[in-house]
Structure 1
Amino acid sequence: MELRVLNYFLTVAREGNFSRAAEKLHLSQPTLSRQIKDIEEEYGKVLLIREPRRIILTDEGELLRRRAEEILSLVEKTEGELLSSEKSISGDIRIGAGESVNFSLVMQVAKEIRQSYPNIRFHIISGDGETTLKRLERGLIDFGYVYGDLDPSKYSQLSLPAQDRWGVLINKQNKLTKKKSISPADLWNQPLLLSRQTLSPSTHGDELLNWLGKPLEELNITGSYSLLYNASIMVRENLGCAIAFANIINTTGSDICYRPLKPKIIASPLIAWKKNQVFSKASQVFLEALQEKFHTKSASH
């Protein structure tokens, strides 16, 4: 399958309409429709359900959409690396990261890099730890800002001099706001909102479940979230209490508040990259700057 045709399919999937996609691609609608039909015939799969005013992706079409995004992203990344010159280092650095105030440590280094190399661009791809590691494994990002114990045979890592403390976002109508800190028993009968990262054994799941002292099926889990901002809206609407890192959501003057967990639980962030990673010049410069900044020796990439 040609990259050109992959781009055609991805544009149709994103636009949800052949007319708009054809206009964006500067093709006639019959030509575009024929190209997509050729893919379906080549693989013997129906990728799109064609309705009068829209298209709907089948399961196979959704799979191809995800793979097309990954493939075209890798192509774009590779082209940028190949075009980077020796004299003027430039290019794109992609960092996968979850939500943490300590991510500012990484961005401080990015700022310093930009002062010396203004043609280096940084792209932050949000996601929980599990998603970030998958993207790292597939080569869709250069670095991951993650937590937990990583497989040393697959990843190199650089510890950051920071800690995140776990706590709970609570609606001020909840009686728990009278407490200065929250113990496990305080949450056993409370409606809880958990992030995917909270539930992942490879990041924080085991530690938090051990702290809670009960299996998930015995807790009142009312929802989950990927971004804490969205969870904070759920807390405001009294849908539950959200277990999360401190200081991500500004609760000043708000109808929600934050209370730390007791006994205290903390997590230490790290920067990870694939073992034997072949870095672009821009990514290599960034890694060396991180290592120098934090005075931490890490395994060779």
Structure 2
Amino acid sequence: MDIKQLKYFLTIAEEGQITAAAKKLHIAQPPLSQQLKILEEELGIKLVERGSRHIHLTDAGKILRERARQILELSDSTVNEINDFKRGLKGTLTIGTISSSGSLLLKNVIAKFHKEYSGVKFSIREGNTFNILELLNKGVIEIGIVRTPFKALNYGCKYMKKEPMIAAMTKKYCSGDDTKTMEITELKDKPIILYRRFENLIIEACFENGFKPEIFCKNEDARTTLMWANAGLGIAIVPKSAFELVNNENLIYKEIEYEKLVTSIAAIWIKDRYLSSLAEKFIESFNEDE
């Protein structure tokens, strides 16, 4: 099994047809079918079920699809690292980011880095914190951009300054005053929308202030959290810098006054693993005062 076979198989899996895959790969259909057959014989298991119009992956095929995707991404990343070494501070930097880091990262880090190193290009992978850590551990990305809290064991870390969590809501959930802050106890008996990343943090903070939060919706993304709040379905609790991620025309926000409801963005990397000069310079650009 080699890289070319994995590329062929992944294209077949993504296209759902050998004919369409052959067209995308710019090869004839019979040789591609033969490569698939050779791969199945080598592994000793059927990877696809052939239908009249489409192929369907077997359970083994689904496993190989995910592994092939990771291996090909790692191969591309390795080539980029070697090219980076040859060219100096030019090349492609592969980063994984969580969605809620977008606004702050672009304004305070990416723009500044691009201005100083205009020859550098970016390959960005988005996901939740668990996804980013997985990609980092597998070597698919060099740097992960995540939010606290997370387990920093085995990772090198550099943090941006702490920022408060906010309650974003439509006017019907607001007390009517113009204050920019609120006590955490004002969330009592209100429908709360949050993403699972901060579930434990928020629940613990509410318990410490004498009440159990009324969680209306849990999801996986800051953008979804804000979209639901913008529709008037409840109060979104998100990091302050995440507020600009989506259309928030119906929302106002207040900073929650509680010292434990804070978070910060961190750049993380695997300790004792090779870091390209691009990655090292990018980490240097992380300013704790930003």
TM band (smaller chain):
0.7 to 0.9
- Structure 1 residue 219, shift from structure 2 partner: 5.3
CA distance in 1, matches of 2:83, 2:218: 42
Give the match for residue 163 of structure 2: 164
For 1:36, the aligned partner's letter is: L
Equivalent AA in structure 1 for residue 224 of structure 2: N
Residues 244 and 47 (structure 1 numbering): CA distance in 2 closer, same or farther, change over 3 Å?
farther
d(CA) in 2 for partners of 1:132, 1:234: 25
Name the residue aligned to 2:176.
178
| Mapped partners of 1:71, 1:178: distance in 2 | 55
Distance 1:294 1:16, change over 3 A: same
Residue 9 (1) aligns with residue 9 (2): yes
Query: Is the Cα–Cα contact under 8 Å of residues 182 and 259 in structure 1 kept in the other structure?
Result: yes
What TM-score do you get using the length of structure 2 for normalisation?
0.81
Question: SS in structure 2 opposite 1:23?
Answer: helix
Change (3 A) 1:31 1:282: same
- Identify which of 211, 228, 232 aligns with 1:234: 228
Q: Give the whole-Å Cα distance in 2 for the aligned partners of 1:261 and 1:168.
A: 7
Name the stretch that deviates more: 46-55 or 177-186.
177-186
Q: CA deviation at 1:71?
A: 0.7
Query: Which 10-residue stretch deviates more, 79-88 or 6-15?
Result: 79-88
Structure 1 unmatched ranges of 5 or more: 200-204, 296-301
CA contact (8 A) 1:170 1:177 kept: no
1:267 — aligned with what?
Answer: 263
Deviates more, 1:251-260 or 1:134-143: 251-260
Which of the residues 109, 113, 116 maps onto 1:110? 113
Q: Which residue of 1 aligns with 2:69?
A: 69
Counterpart for residue 203 of structure 2? 209
Q: 1:53 to 1:186 in 2, by over 3 A?
A: farther
Tell me the residue number matched to 1:48. 48
Residue 249 (structure 2) aligns with: 254
Cα deviation for residue 6 of structure 1 reads: 0.6
C-alpha displacement at 1:5, in angstroms? 0.9
How many pairs align?
279
SS for the counterpart of 1:279 is: coil
1:273 is matched by which residue type in structure 2? W
Secondary structure at 1:84's aligned position in 2? helix
Residues 171 and 153 of structure 1: is their aligned pair in 2 closer, same or farther, counting only changes over 3 Å? closer
Identity of aligned residues (%): 26
Q: Which moved more, 1:21-30 or 1:43-52?
A: 43-52
What secondary structure, in the 3-state scheme, does the structure 1 residue paired with 2:285 have?
helix
- Following superposition of structure 1 onto structure 2, how do residues 16-35 of structure 1 map, counting pairs within 5 Å? 16-35=16-35
- 1:70-149 → structure 2 map (5 Å cutoff): 70-84=70-84, 86=86, 88-98=88-98, 99-100=100-101, 101-103=103-105, 104-115=107-118, 118=119, 120-148=120-148
Q: CA deviation at 1:186?
A: 4.5
Q: Deviations over 1:121-165 (max 9, x none)?
A: 1223222222212211111111122233665651111222x2222
| Cα drift, residue 257 of structure 1 | 2.8
Distance 2:242 2:88 in 1: 37
Displacement of 1:50: 3.3
- C-alpha root-mean-square deviation of aligned residues, in Å? 3.0
Alignment gaps of 5+ in structure 2: none
1:36, CA displacement in angstroms? Answer: 2.5
Q: Secondary structure at the match of 1:248?
A: helix
CA deviation profile, 1:76-127 (whole Å, cap 9, x unmatched): 1111222335564322211222213332322144223424xx1x21223222
Amino acid at match of 1:170: M
TM-score, structure 1 normalization: 0.78
CA distance in 2, matches of 1:253, 1:235: 9
Deviation at 1:46, TM superposition (A): 3.8
1:268 and 1:155 mapped to 2: Cα distance?
16
